[in-house]
Amino acid sequence: MFLTLTTTGTPEHPATDLGFLLHKHPEKAQAFSTSFGTAHVLYPEAEDQRCTAALLLEVDAVALVRRGKGKG
């Protein structure tokens, strides 16, 4: 799954403040494990006038199926 969020800014309120709201630094890509796969957060565009945050979610379908065995 791929999700992007874009905002625009002003000189008083730069668009890169989006990183503050998401608790992720716009200048570096980050990855972390979740219960269903790996999430990657990156900023393909990070300028004062416009900033885009992207979330790439790699779902591990095999692990989801294996985890579900024995239930039901």
What confidence tens digit (pLDDT) does each residue in 28-70 have? Answer: 999 999 888 999 999 999 999 999 999 999 999 888 888 776 5
Domain count of the fold of the chain: 1
What does the pLDDT read at residue 35?
Answer: 85
**Residue 26 token pair:** 């716009």
In this structure, the number of other CB atoms found within 10 A of the CB of residue 31 comes to 11
What does the pLDDT read at residue 71?
Answer: 58
Q: Are 6 and 16 in contact (CB under 8 A)?
A: no
Q: Are 39 and 29 in contact (CB under 8 A)?
A: no
Instruction: Give the global pTM.
Output: 0.79
The domain in which residue 8 lies consists of 2-68
